[in-house]
Every structure is written in structure tokens, then in C-alpha cells.
Amino acid sequence: MTTETGKSRLIEDMKMHSGQDPNGCYQCGKCSAACPVSAALDLKPHQVLRYLQMGLENELAESKTPWVCASCFTCAARCPRDIDLARVMEGLRLSILRNRGGNKFGPAELTPEQLEKLPQQALVSGFRKYNK
Amino acid sequence: MRYRYFPGCTLKGQAKSMEDTTLAAAKAMGIELEELSEWQCCGAVYPLYEDELISLLSPVRTLAAAEGEPLVSLCAACHHVLKRAQELMQRNEDARKKVTDHLEVEYAGEGRVLHFLEVLRDDLGFDKLKEMVKKPLEGKKVAAYYGCLLLRPSKVMQFDDPENPTIMEDMIRALGAEVVKSPYRTECCGAYLSVTEEGVAADTVQRILDSARRAGAEILVTACPLCRYNLENCADNEGKTPIKVYYFSEILAEAMGLPSESAQDRGTKEEVPQG
Amino acid sequence: MPRTGVFICHCGTNIAGTVDIDKTVEASRNFPGVVHADEYRYLCSEMGQDIITKAIKENDLDRVVVGTCSPRMHENTFRKAAAEAGLNPYLLEVANIREHCSWVHKDMEEATPKAIALLRAAAAKAALNEALEAPRLDVEKRALVIGGGIAGIQAALDIAEAGYEVDIVEKDPSIGGRMAQLEKTFPTLDCSACILTPKMVEAAQHPNINLLTYSEVDEVKGFVGQFDVKIRQKARYVDPVKCTGCGICWEKCPSKAPSEFEMGLSKRKSIYVPFAQAVPMVPVIDRDSCLYFRKGRCQICEKECPPQAIDYEQQDEIIERRYGAIVVATGFDQLDPTIYGEYGYGQHPDILTGLEFERIFNASGPTGGKVVKLSDGKPPKKVVFIQCIGSRDKARGMNYCSKICCMYTAKQAILLKEKVPDAKSYVFYIDVRTGGKGYEEFQRRAAEEHDVAYMRGQVGKIFPEDDHLVVRGIDSLTNRNIEIKADMVVLAAATVARGDAPELGRLVGINSDSYHFFNEAHPKLKPVETHTAGIFIAGACQAPKDIPETVSQASAAAVKAIGLLSKEKLQGEACTAEVIQSDCSGCLNCEAICPYTAITPVEIEERYKDGVLKRTVAEVNPALCQGCGSCAVTCRSGSINLKGFSNDQIMAEVDAICLQR
């Protein structure tokens, strides 16, 4: 059973910096239907918004979803409630990194082969998305 | 037609071919692309967090360096970042003041920020392009792969209809090739997930390739180096009909009768494991 | 000095809870001119009214101030009470000490002095009140109904049955509207045409109803009781008197155009009646596709017509007529889902809207009533219905719920199962909304007895692959991504206002909301009235609604119109503007700002020195003036007074408030 836990710092930060209000969501699921990586998400995009509405900070911090989101903006383009879910995900990533510490990804995790073949753009964007 | 030109990092490295073929084709078409004298990495991703102003320093510096002249880029990611940074500078006075004060530049969002495809469509015109084609790509079945960054968010990018874009197909048609449309042409390839979540990117890429294959495409063209990397490296295509992935500029150069990776080097290069 | 009486209402505790009534009564006694003050628990009750009537008589009062709720609520009640005692009702003044005072304050210490101030102002104004007479206006005993769908037909029949003449103006060649396009109706599955066509015929045959089809309203002038309307009867190029409706012309006509009635799914001839049961059964020629009008040759219809009813020279005709009341019942459109590129509507023949699918079921529809795919003529085995296409969508569509889609989708899924028993249907929904008699039960039958799979979630993308349509959606109850290889997709596209609604609203003089649905005068208590007296609304032009609701509203609008037409004379507005012509400079800014065209320039003669000077000044037509006051505040020389709200009266109120402390 979930009990009310009051305001979550992580979620309040996310709201402030993403400029998005999860309460606007009525759970139609269009984001999750449109998301190209939906199948790989432990929490579907609409669930992320529901968890935000419910203030389930710990579950969100442990979810893979923000880290699997590729910022393709499809969800934001199709949301009937005008919620920019790409910003919500970015907000979650940064709030989690800042509030809970630690980087998710660094150059050390790349193989020499990857470092040679990957376009510069991939490395820069990867580091930008997964680090403070 | 004269433009300031922002190449971006990838075009000086892994995607050199996109730059070479574009510059050659542009020259042949009388389009002058003057590289900015000094530039830095655009940052590759547009910061979606409102207080991440530091990530805007580089793109805004680039925008200011264009001095109000039309600024062209080729890489979809660079164009995306520049266009969105420009829109923020137009819309958010507070952010604009902080960033430009820090950079000690004056910039209020002026100047056209264009992708080279927009130059072809809006300034040159595809009809004109068609006339300039020397070696029409007859008989080739070419599918466009747009991905995300050129199209979305459409209110800011204003590049094309985000769900049913036509700009690349119109170019392909002008070059004399047969247009093949795949329903996955606007879906994400997985972007940087190929670095961190290989399995996920493999799925997205597989869907895109299989769908293009089903539509009968032999060639897939893109404007994004990362899309191309993923399309070429992330899927298992064993035993399937080969599909080659090119930059839009490579088929453009080829049709203009210019040296292009696709026309020459590719043949001798290791076949992309699409087949 | 006037003899003013002040009466203060407790309104239970609504006022007395925050305003000290005793103090207020005591303070009132000291206002200039006040000779009597009293209070009562409910002044609006009969006992309360009696107190006022008696006090007027006993104390010989010639002005009355009541401290009560808003004048919108009970001004009339108290005016009548005053009139009962022989006082001109306009000598009574209401001080709103509820909405303007007790309801917005919590503290009695604050509210009481404010109530006293409001009463003092009202008393100061009342002292300057003059006896006014409302003009008596004629009523033209005829109604105009704009729109010949089920709403318009029902309203017209009810008005006609009450004994008044009604004209129905319908822009299409036949009456019938949207309901004529439907196959069956929820939740009873009555055949739509079977219940509609008798009403169409009844309307056509009714001696009091005059059908003006293929006609549009060009101009509306005048006011309640006397609307002067110009109606454009578009040229049909067929003489309705000679035409027998035999059908030879449209049989022989060689040119075609997409059928509006069939939602463009099939073609009709260039000379056509929109559907088989059209009323009147008189065709029209569509100039845009007719060979004769385009190229000057053909004339086959003319040659073939047995009674020689074809007349290429026919012109639009303007009919000018006066009406006492107008009912606007112009219906709705369906949102064009091409704005949702991800659904691929318009790019594949088997992706349809709800209204298009309705035609597929219909025996006279594009497939002759066979439920088949338009792509290959085979029956669909898997059909995906998607709800809320453009409804509840503030980003790209309409923010409101279209109300009818949940039900007609359930209906279509049931009909599909009846026609194609081995078909499987899926409904993607956000919420299923089934408010209405028998509606919930009907929808549950679809899910439980007709094998309709309801999936709570939305669809992200639809695209053709091989010989089917791939529908990618989510079931948000299991959080699973769903992929359905469908044969057909039906999009429940939003119900939207007619494209020409804003223009019609301007023409008729009624306003609409941000979605262009016409506004009712009060969302609860005046649902069929508009802000313009004498103009009523019915049906989906006011908001999305289903047939039962539309019919109820149409009858309600008819009752309002009948009530109006049954009056011998109408009481006009007493508080109208008047121009003090000696002060008027003739700038006519008032004429420009008047929303009721009540102000016109007039030439007057004035003695000037030894001669006579002619000059232009403004004049108000009190029959047209609605007392809005726009002219009075626009007038630069202060030479317009609104009766009952004169500049002196308002200044007296301001002084009474400002000078009291």
C-alpha cells in the first residue's frame, strides 16, 4: 500500500525545471502508444505521469524509463493535453542526477571499437543526457 | 545565393562525406556556403531543462556569429539545436539576457536558420534542382528516412509536416529516382541509445529497415550521422535484402554528376551488413 | 423631498449572517428623504411583498429601496409589488447587498458599513428616479427556423401545431440534416430514416409550414417581434412547380461530382437530389460540375425532362419577410481528421470517420448497405474504432467532449457484428461516457454480448502494410503495447460547429463560444434563449448533443417562440437612451457604436439669432434600443442619457458613497 508522503523534492524540481504539470494528464496513453521504445520501458510514459501525479518518487528514481527515453519528441508532438513529455523525462533525469548523485554513463564504459566508429554526435549527446 | 555555413563536429569526422558531397553539389548549383571562421560543437542535444543555460552558450555564439545572415547546417542534430536555441532567444527574454550577457554578444533571435534541404526547397526550388541534374538516378528505389530532429517539435522546427513530410521525397523525385515511402520514416532510430541500450536501438532500427525493405526500398537517405550509424550498425540483417544508407547529399552529388561516396567509394567499401 | 421607504431582506442567513440588519435599518432611517425603514426574513416571499405594498400605502411612499439579492433575481418581483400599491415600478431601486456584499465578505464589521453605503447610494439614486413607461410593441405572428435538420423540423412542427406560420430555411436541397445520414440510432437501434422521414413529410405537408430549401439567410434586421429577414433562395435551375421528381434528369445526366450526402464516398450526378427520400423531391443543378454551365453544351436534362421543368436562366431570388421569433438550428460538422497525420486518414480508403462508416451500413449508401472495405469490396474481419479523435484534445483539436461518439461507436460495433458475424471489433477509448437513458446498458451489451473488445488507451500510429492496416496502440490497463492488423479503422472524429457558424452568428446577432457553438443566455436556466430577445437555439449548433436531447431542446425552443408569438403586444425596454438634442454636436459616434442600429441622424431646425439653423443630431429609436448604455458613455458632450441610469443618477450614487463618512 502506498501512503501519502507529502511533497517530493525530486518531483517539485522536475516540475519547476521542465515547466510541465503532470496533473494535466488524463491517462489516455497516446504517448505510450506512440513511443518508439515503449516496449523496452518498465514504466510506460503515461505511467510516469501517473506516478508523478501520485508523488511516487522512489519508484520513478529506480525506473529505467527516463534513461531509455531517446528524446525523439514523438510523445510531445501527439499529446492531446499539450504536455511536453520529452521535457518531463529530461527533468526527471536531471532531478535524479542532481538529487541522488552519480553519473549514469562515462567514456570508460565504451569499447575502443565504439570509440572509433561512433559519430561524435552520439558521444556528445550520450554524455550530455546521462551526466550532471 | 550565399549562406553562412555551420558544419559541426561530426561533419569534420565520421560524416566527412556529408560535408564533401554537399559542398561539391552546392558549388555546382551556385550556392555559396561560407564556413563560419570560428565555431564550436553545438552541444548535440538541445537542453530541455529550463535552467540549463550553459548548454545554450555554444549554439547562441554560433547564431550570433552569423551576423544576421542566413545560417545553414547539414547535420540534423546541429540544425535542431541551432533552430531551437534561436526560438528560445526570440521567446524568452530572461534567458536571452543571461546568455548574451555572458557571451558578451548581441543577439535577439534574428536571421534565418536553415537546413540545407530547406535551401534546396525554398530558395533554389526542386524544379530548378531537377533541371540541374546531370545523371538522373533512374530506376533506383529510394526511401527517405527523416528521423526526429528535423521534424519535431514542429512548431519550432517548421521544417515540414511532422507526420507526413515530403521534402526529402520531393528531392529524391527531382533527382530522378523512384520514391518509396515507408511508414517508419518519421520514427526514432534510437539515437544515442545505441551507446547505452544497444538492444533497444537494435529493435527500433530493425523496424525501420524491415519496413523500408517491405516497401521495396534499395536505398535509404538520411540527414543525420547518428541515424546513419544506427541504421548501419544496430540491426541484424542476415539473409535479408540489402539496403544501403546514404546521406541525402551523397545521392544529390551523384545525380549532379559529381564524385560521391555512394557512386565511387561505397562500391569498394565493405558492404553494409544490410544484406 | 421624496418619501422613500427602505426594506432590507435577511435572505435567511445569506445576508443576515454577515450584515447587521438592525444597524442597517437604523442607519437607513437617517438617509435623506427616507420616511420608513423595515426588514424581513425573506422579502421575496408573498409576506415580504405584502409588507412593501402595505407600507407604500400606509406611509404614502413615492420611492422604494430594497436591500436584497441581485436585481437579476428579483427586481421584477419587487417592481410588481410596488405597482400593486399603485407606484410606477421604475420608482423602485434595488441595492444588491447579497452578491455585492454579504457573499463576498466574512466579517460583519466590514460588511455592515458596506451594505449601508450601498443602500444610501440606492436611496440617493431613487430620489432622482422618474416614472417610466415601457413601449408596447407589435408581434409578427410568424416564426423563422434556420436549419432543416431534426432540430429545425421538430421546432417548426411544434410551432406550426400551436397555430403559427413557420418558414424553414435549409441551405441544402433537402431537409433532413445529419439524422438523414445515419443508419440506426442508439440505444434502441431504430432505423434513423424510418423515424425521421415521417417527420420530414409531416413538415412538408403541414399547412402552417413553408419549406425554403436550398436557401440561406442573407440579412436579419429589426428586433424581437419584428425581425426583418432577407432570405436568398438559390437558383435550383429546376422549376419546383413543374417538376414531378420523376428522376429521369439525374438518371440521364452524364457528369458527376462527389456526393456531399455520402461524405464524398460515392458520386452523385450534377443534377441531383441528395438522397432517395429527399424533401422536396425536386433536384438542383450543381453549376460547378454541370457540363452545360462549365462548357455550354449538353442540356440532356432539359431535353429529357417530361414536364420541361429545367430552367438554366433561373436566378437566385431574395425573399423579404417579417418574423416575430427566430429559432437557429444549424447543426454540426465532423472534424476533418487529416490534421492527425499519424492516423493516415485520407491516405487509405479503409480509414474512415464515424459518419462515413454510417453510410457504409446504409442500404442506399456507397456500398448498397453491404459492410465491405472500400479498398477491395471484401467484408472487414477486424475493425478498430478509435474514440476522441480531436475531442478532449487541447493541443490539436477541441478541448471538449463530443458526447455522442462513445454511444455511436458502440452502436456501429453492434451493427458490424450483425452484418459481418465473424468480424471482430476493438474500441480504443479514454473513458466510456454513457450518460443517458439506457445508454450504459447498451454499451455494456456491445462489450459483453457482441464481442467488442474495449481497450483503454489510445493509438499512436496507423499505416498500411500488405493488405491490412497496422494499428499500434496501448492498453493502459495492462500497460501493454498492442499491435492490431486491422481491415478497417473508424475514427470517431469530433463534433464541431459548422464552418459558417461565426458568420451566421454575426448575421443573426447572437454570440458564440470559442469553439463557435452558439451561446445560450444562461447555462442552466435559459438553455434555449440567446442574449438577443426573440432568438432561440436548438440542437448541435449550441453544443454537441444526441438526437433525444436535440429534439427536447427543439421543442423547448419552440415553446419559447410560441410564448412570444402568442402575445398581443410585447413590453419593450423602458430604460432606453434619449438624446438631449440641444446639446448634441452631431458627431454620431453613438451611431457607430450602437449594437442595435437604434441610432440614426436626424435634421433639426433651431432658432439662431434672427434666423433658423438646420443641423444634424442623433436620434434614438426606443423600439430598437436595448438600454445597453454604450452610446451614453461614448457621447463626448454628455448629451445622451440612459433613462433610469441618467448621468445625474449615477453621480448621485457616487456622491452618496463618497460623502457619507
CB-based contact B163 C465, cutoff 8 Å: no
Q: Which three cell numbers stand for residue C378?
A: 471484401
- pLDDT at position B127 over 70: yes
The Cα of A44 is separated from the nearest Cα of chain C by a number of Å equal to: 7
Q: Where are the alpha helices (DSSP H) in C500-621?
A: 501-508, 547-565, 589-593
The Cα of C353 is separated from the nearest Cα of chain A by a number of Å equal to: 19
- pLDDT at position A1 over 90: no
| Predicted local confidence at residue B271, as pLDDT | 42
Which of B14, B41, B197 lies at the smallest CB-CB distance from A119?
Answer: B14
C70 and C43 Cβ atoms separated by less than 8 Å: no
CA closest to B161 among chain C residues: C341
- Which residues of chain A make contact with B231, given a CB cutoff of 8 A? none
Q: What is the CATH number of domain B132-268?
A: 3.40.50.11810
What is the SS3 assignment for B218-231?
CEEEECCHHHHHHH
pLDDT > 70 in chain B, percent: 95
What 3-state DSSP class applies to C180?
Answer: helix
Q: Which chains touch B (3 or more CB pairs under 8 A)?
A: A, C
Can you tell me the distance from the alpha carbon of C115 to that of B177, in angstroms, rounded to the nearest whole number?
A: 83
C74 and C40 Cβ atoms separated by less than 8 Å: no
- Which residues of chain C make contact with B162, given a CB cutoff of 8 A? 341
**C-alpha dihedral sign at C452, C453, C459, C464:** negative
- Which residues of chain C make contact with A32, given a CB cutoff of 8 A? 457, 460, 474, 476, 479, 481
Judge residue B104's burial from the number of C-beta atoms within 10 Å of its C-beta, 0-12 exposed, 13-18 middle, 19 or more buried. exposed
* pLDDT band of A6, cuts 50, 70, 90: low
C166 and C653 Cβ atoms separated by less than 8 Å: no
Q: What architecture is domain A9-101?
A: Orthogonal Bundle (1.10)
Residues 6+ positions from A127 with CB-CB distance below 8 Å: A105, A106, A107
- Which residues of chain A make contact with B152, given a CB cutoff of 8 A? 72-74, 76-77
Q: What is the pLDDT of residues B56-75, one digit of tens each?
A: 999 999 999 999 999 999 99
**C-alpha dihedral sign at B11, B16, B17, B22:** positive
CA closest to B184 among chain A residues: A36
Which of C397, C456, C459 lies at the smallest CB-CB distance from A80?
Answer: C397
B224 and B232 Cβ atoms separated by less than 8 Å: no
Q: Which three cell numbers stand for residue A57?
A: 518518487
Which of A33, A35, A79 lies at the smallest CB-CB distance from C459?
Answer: A33
- Determine the average pLDDT of the residues in B163-170: 96
CB-based contact B191 A119, cutoff 8 Å: no
- Which residues of chain C make contact with A26, given a CB cutoff of 8 A? 392, 430-431
- pLDDT at position B186 over 80: yes
Buried b (16+ CB within 10 A) or exposed e, C488-512: bbbbbbbbbbbeebeebbebbbbeb
Which of A32, A79, A82 lies at the smallest CB-CB distance from C474?
Answer: A32
| Predicted local confidence at residue C216, as pLDDT | 98
Angle of CA points C48, C52, C58, to nearest 5°: 135
Taking the CA of residue B28 as centre, how many other CA atoms within 13 Å lie in the half-sphere pointing to its CB? 21
CB-based contact A117 B14, cutoff 8 Å: yes
- Determine the average pLDDT of the residues in A50-74: 94
- Which residues of chain B make contact with A124, given a CB cutoff of 8 A? 9, 41, 43-45
CB pairs under 8 A between A and C: 67
* pLDDT band of B266, cuts 50, 70, 90: very low
Q: Distances from the Cα of C437 to the Cαs of A74, C7, C404, C407, C539, in angstroms? A: 40, 47, 13, 12, 18
Q: Distances from the Cα of B247 to the Cαs of A86, B76, B132, in angstroms? A: 27, 11, 19
**CB atoms inside a 10 Å sphere around CB C427:** 25
So where are chain A's domains? 9-101, 104-132
CB-based contact C465 B164, cutoff 8 Å: no
CB-based contact B183 C340, cutoff 8 Å: no
* pLDDT band of B269, cuts 50, 70, 90: very low
Can you tell me the distance from the alpha carbon of C56 to that of C38, in angstroms, rounded to the nearest whole number?
A: 12
C6 and C37 Cβ atoms separated by less than 8 Å: yes
CB-based contact C464 B183, cutoff 8 Å: yes
Fill in the amino acid letter for B67. E
CB-based contact A26 C461, cutoff 8 Å: no
What 3-state DSSP class applies to C503?
Answer: helix
| Predicted local confidence at residue A116, as pLDDT | 79
CA closest to C459 among chain A residues: A33
Residues 6+ positions from B15 with CB-CB distance below 8 Å: A119, B75, B225, B228, B247
- pLDDT at position A3 over 80: no
What 3-state DSSP class applies to C179?
Answer: helix
Q: Which chains touch A (3 or more CB pairs under 8 A)?
A: B, C
Return the bridge partners of C322, or none: C228
| Predicted local confidence at residue A5, as pLDDT | 58
The DSSP result for C234-298, as a single string, is: ---SB-TTT-----HHHHH---EEE-TTTTTSSEEESEE-SSTT-SS---EE-TTT-HHHHHS--
Query: Which residues of A lie inside 8 Å of C (Cβ-Cβ)?
Result: 26-30, 32-35, 38-39, 44, 46-47, 74, 78-82
Query: Which residues of B lie inside 8 Å of C (Cβ-Cβ)?
Result: 161-164, 183, 211, 214
C19 and C108 Cβ atoms separated by less than 8 Å: yes
| Predicted local confidence at residue A107, as pLDDT | 72
So where are chain B's domains? 2-115, 132-268
- Which residues of chain A make contact with C460, given a CB cutoff of 8 A? 30, 32-35, 74, 78
Place of cell 452610446: C631
CB-based contact B152 A128, cutoff 8 Å: no
- Determine the average pLDDT of the residues in B160-167: 95
Can you tell me the distance from the alpha carbon of C184 to that of C419, in angstroms, rounded to the nearest whole number?
A: 13
CB-based contact A44 C474, cutoff 8 Å: yes
- Closest CA relative to residue C429, chosen from C389, C462, C461, C398: C389
Q: Distances from the Cα of C182 to the Cαs of A30, B182, C194, C643, in angstroms? A: 29, 36, 11, 53
CB-based contact C341 B183, cutoff 8 Å: no
A10 and A52 Cβ atoms separated by less than 8 Å: no
CB-based contact C430 A47, cutoff 8 Å: no
Can you tell me the distance from the alpha carbon of B69 to that of B52, in angstroms, rounded to the nearest whole number?
A: 27
pTM higher than the cut 0.90: no
Which domains are seen in chain C, by residue range? Answer: 4-128 (3.40.50), 142-331+500-565 (3.50.50.60), 333-496 (3.50.50.60), 577-643 (3.30.70.20)
* pLDDT band of A2, cuts 50, 70, 90: low
Return the bridge partners of C163, or none: none
CB-based contact A38 C473, cutoff 8 Å: no
CB-based contact A68 B197, cutoff 8 Å: yes
H or E segment at C484?
A: strand C480-486
Q: Distances from the Cα of C248 to the Cαs of C253, C289, C303, C305, in angstroms? A: 8, 18, 10, 7
H or E segment at C535?
A: strand C535-537
The Cα of B229 is separated from the nearest Cα of chain A by a number of Å equal to: 7
Q: What architecture is domain B2-115?
A: Up-down Bundle (1.20)
- Which residues of chain A make contact with B191, given a CB cutoff of 8 A? 70-72, 122, 125
| Predicted local confidence at residue A35, as pLDDT | 96
Residue ranges of chain C with per-residue pLDDT less than 70: 660-661
| Predicted local confidence at residue B262, as pLDDT | 47
- Which residues of chain C make contact with A34, given a CB cutoff of 8 A? 342, 460-461, 472
Reduced DSSP (H G I as helix, E B as strand, rest coil) percent helix, strand, coil of chain C, to 5: 30, 25, 40
C209 and C157 Cβ atoms separated by less than 8 Å: yes
Can you tell me the distance from the alpha carbon of B25 to that of C565, in angstroms, rounded to the nearest whole number?
A: 78
Q: Which chains touch C (3 or more CB pairs under 8 A)?
A: A, B
- Which residues of chain A make contact with C458, given a CB cutoff of 8 A? 28-30, 33
- Which residues of chain C make contact with A27, given a CB cutoff of 8 A? 430, 476
Which of B9, B49, B199 lies at the smallest CB-CB distance from A17?
Answer: B49
Judge residue C297's burial from the number of C-beta atoms within 10 Å of its C-beta, 0-12 exposed, 13-18 middle, 19 or more buried. exposed
* pLDDT band of B275, cuts 50, 70, 90: very low
- pLDDT at position B264 over 70: no
CA closest to A86 among chain B residues: B48
CB proximity A17 to B under 8 Å: yes
* pLDDT band of B253, cuts 50, 70, 90: very high
- Which residues of chain A make contact with C430, given a CB cutoff of 8 A? 26-29
